[in-house]
Chains A and B, each alone.
Chain A
């Protein structure tokens, strides 16, 4: 028996008071006595041979402690790991912490300076003289694969790191017998997550204990710990990695290792002094990974009434100069290229291509926005080609509720498992969008507006999102005997997702306390040291279910302990709001702290509660041993959850826009989001994720573009010139929730971290295209959309 569940309710966030009153602790807030600062010498060339590096002037500068090149960094002078190997990744290349002999992108680290402070470190970095012999830069996927293109890496012909081919069904037969084929080429531009807090690493070496502590603004503290232990030849328990408050990750911080992540700990050991590196905004653009750029050539085979029978997609994925995270982004794009639609016959090929640009790793969405843009734009064009309404063509092709689980044999998802959707009601989501936007009424309004020279448009995009990937996460739940607070640990960490509340709700319901009495501690390998990382919208699914399992065990322990104390039957024990009592006898309730104390046989009575738990107290006296065989002291349990398969969230977004036909400014009049992420733990947090995702999606739709010139210089490596939407640009988002419990985990949850981002660019391209239809020559197939690109689109042809 429990009190009303907090699961599914809008519980206020446990972390907000601390974060909103300035008591967050980010890495730069962590004071380390005598810490030195780091600056890097970064390549100004996209591709060049290093002829010489002279560090003598830099070393001579007052306040400089260390200036090192690849020659000085001992065992670290090696290629960093390829995190996710794949058979089709035939030419993997990863970078060294400091360049040896050659540089491959503007921003690559060539030398490291450690100095009294960052000012001196930057002065010294300026004094390091590097002589380069420039080589021709390879920029742009199209140029990289063109015949005669120079190889970014010696021995990688055509710059193809990987060539993957997947088939599901009989695509060739579907196209051979198609009544109609629509083909489009779409392009999603290169972007960056640009988290509010750039990356940061601090390290301290304790030479007495032989212990290395590293504070790292990472999404994967346990994985970083494993990697560092391996690199430094230490046992894992001699390395503690702490990811404290982290100001946004969005995937950029899941990569390991960035050069600083190994060089800063190395310098701390070398100098036997704490060392701190706080990446600045320019370095975040030049030294931390990018994402998004893909060019898809997608074809749909269809019957005349719009039933899509086959899909062929061939795309280029720009992986930048190295491919440390393997094929994850491209693999995810390939795996969900057919979106929400039945489409039984699929062929999807991609090439991951090297260019002389910053390496590419997952960024919120991780291939999903790219795939969604391709399929959704193609569906719109198909609808137009066949003269079918854009809503209607989607309805005709949706996977039906009775068809789940829906498998796409032959397509492999990013977890190495075959693509298999677990459930939902896609048509219902579309109906909700129609109810919200009322397309017939809109068409009348659109026509009236056009007669006044005003251009209104309605667009939509559906999406699916494979979430909650394995391999596993763990949960540890413990009731503290002094305060009665319930402590929860898990191995992954938060970068602002609200874990301290969502996980608290899960544990609170199972144990029988209020979520505010649950303390979630994450991101510290000293607290819990098994797990993987935060990525792929997986925390709620994987850690959430692990925490639930552990909490259930603790609940049993409480009931067992209390039934002994009350000499009552276990089924009569009630736990409510942290009080434990026998059904009907609430007046004689014990606190959880008392139960926890009693669960630990004591010898010493260090406080009042402890008096009753000592072995000399009649109440605590047991026959025989104080602890029964197989029992352990305390109310505490650890358990793990390992999902057998991905769980698939889905939804549809719709927008109504007005486009100024002279200035091509786009005004968003409505933005409606219908989504289903399974059972919601906390609708308020879900809505925060969705709205934040839409904001980030707007970046991709209208603003974000990393502007490389032909020589490989990034022309907009600042927040002045790399445009992200402000609050002033993000419209009010109207949200409708659907809740189809996932059959693939006991909580019935699906991930929601990336959902909001996925369809936004496709929905806006659809809406703007609808608005400008009378003026356009062709379809809008590239994002971001800008006034200039829209102006050009009305002029071409």
Chain B
């Protein structure tokens, strides 16, 4: 479990990193290394070059402005989890991060790294999908923004060009009129979720669902926005019937096949239960937040 031979670069600026990325399209970008290094140690990936972003300090920041929490790609997950400004602007961020692996992994793991790795079972991609967030990427031809909906293409695959680097991740804020919840089921503390559901919810004056956002991890080849479940809830109170219908609609999104740790049938039931519980928790928090 030693990586094969590779050339190592540690650029000190984004510009330098982008130039290296352009010069070495086969290079791997090392952010926190929590996924890349095991892949290299198992020799499942054998990049000839590794571009380590740890010295590009301009990529580590948390900024809250214009109702957006913008997080530099190299921000450690643990730092974002503990960022008070981010927590005030969007409490769902910290809730999601607490579910990411273990604290020691979050100490190293980065926000940009998790998004770029695009593991469909991971929490941060699901959070970004749920919130309709986006990423900013940089290449030699400049910067561009990619929305969550356009970013996640397939298992471990994003729509980034091979010579692009994620520079920041933008999570829209959640005003106090929103309730929120991220629930998941794992085999053990800190494992990847068998399934997880991220929910944000706003109720009308008559306690009907005004706006709702639902996304799931662990159920398909990308994080999945549960649109039909959202539609099933709009303008309705959170009755048993509405919850059941939303849950069933969500279960329809499960495409993961039978695996040792979770059958497709189990995942469907699990997503149904998690949608229901996540919505109820979001609603309960909303009640506490507004009362």
A787 to B263, CA, bound (A): 9
**Quick check: B1 and A664 within 8 Å, CB to CB?**
no
Q: What residues on A are CB-neighbors of B266 within 8 Å?
A: 664, 787-788, 791-792
**Quick check: B1 and A282 within 8 Å, CB to CB?**
yes
Decide yes or no whether A303 CB sits under 8 A from chain B: no
A662 to B266, CA, bound (A): 9
**Quick check: B188 and A718 within 8 Å, CB to CB?**
no
A401 to B266, CA, bound (A): 48
**Quick check: B2 and A787 within 8 Å, CB to CB?**
no
CB-nearest residue of chain A relative to B5? A123
**Quick check: B273 and A787 within 8 Å, CB to CB?**
no
Of A104-112, A510-518, A723-731, which stretch is located at the interface? A723-731
Of the residues A119, A123, A663, A795, contact of B185 by C-beta under 8 Å: A663
CB-nearest residue of chain A relative to B1? A280
CB-nearest residue of chain B relative to A282? B1
Given A718-B42, A725-B188, A726-B189, CB of A788 within 8 Å of CB of B2: no
Interface mask (A648-664 → B, CB under 8 Å = 1, otherwise 0): 00000000000000111
Given A662-B269, A788-B266, A792-B266, CB of A728 within 8 Å of CB of B189: yes
Interface mask (A689-721 → B, CB under 8 Å = 1, otherwise 0): 000000000000001010100000001101010
Q: What residues on A are CB-neighbors of B269 within 8 Å?
A: 662, 791
**Quick check: B2 and A707 within 8 Å, CB to CB?**
no
**Quick check: B191 and A788 within 8 Å, CB to CB?**
no
Decide yes or no whether B288 CB sits under 8 A from chain A: no
**Quick check: B1 and A715 within 8 Å, CB to CB?**
no
Q: What residues on B are CB-neighbors of A281 within 8 Å?
A: 1
**Quick check: A118 and B2 within 8 Å, CB to CB?**
yes
Of the residues B189, B194, B274, contact of A787 by C-beta under 8 Å: B194
Given A720-B38, A791-B265, A791-B269, CB of A122 within 8 Å of CB of B185: no
Given A126-B4, A282-B1, A663-B270, CB of A787 within 8 Å of CB of B262: yes
Decide yes or no whether B260 CB sits under 8 A from chain A: yes
Interface mask (B251-287 → A, CB under 8 Å = 1, otherwise 0): 0000000001111011001101110000000000000
Which residues of B, 16-53, contact A by the 8 Å Cβ criterion?
38, 42-43
CB-nearest residue of chain B relative to A724? B188
**A112 → B minimal CB distance (Å):** 16
Please tell me the number of chain B residues within 8 Å of chain A, measured between CB atoms.
26
A118 to B191, CA, bound (A): 30
Decide yes or no whether B187 CB sits under 8 A from chain A: yes
**Quick check: A726 and B2 within 8 Å, CB to CB?**
no
Q: What residues on A are CB-neighbors of B194 within 8 Å?
A: 787
- Given contact pairs A118-B2, A662-B273, enumerate 9 new A-B contacts (beta carbons under 8 Å): A119-B3, A119-B5, A122-B43, A720-B38, A725-B188, A726-B190, A729-B189, A787-B187, A792-B263
A720 to B191, CA, bound (A): 8
A703 to B272, CA, bound (A): 24
**B188 → A minimal CB distance (Å):** 5
A407 to B280, CA, bound (A): 61
CB-nearest residue of chain A relative to B195? A663
CB<8 Å pairs between A and B, sample of 25: A118-B2, A119-B2, A119-B5, A122-B2, A122-B4, A122-B43, A123-B5, A126-B43, A281-B1, A282-B1, A662-B273, A663-B185, A663-B274, A665-B185, A718-B38, A723-B187, A726-B189, A728-B190, A786-B261, A787-B185, A787-B187, A787-B270, A788-B262, A791-B263, A795-B265
**B79 → A minimal CB distance (Å):** 23
A143 to B91, CA, bound (A): 53
**B184 → A minimal CB distance (Å):** 10
**Quick check: B187 and A786 within 8 Å, CB to CB?**
yes
Q: What residues on A are CB-neighbors of B38 within 8 Å?
A: 718, 720
A729 to B191, CA, bound (A): 12
Q: What residues on B are CB-neighbors of A715 within 8 Å?
A: 260
A720 to B38, CA, bound (A): 10
Interface mask (A122-139 → B, CB under 8 Å = 1, otherwise 0): 110010000000000000
A642 to B269, CA, bound (A): 58
**B144 → A minimal CB distance (Å):** 34
Q: What residues on B are CB-neighbors of A725 within 8 Å?
A: 188
Q: What residues on B are CB-neighbors of A787 within 8 Å?
A: 185, 187, 194, 262, 266, 270
Q: What residues on B are CB-neighbors of A786 within 8 Å?
A: 187, 261
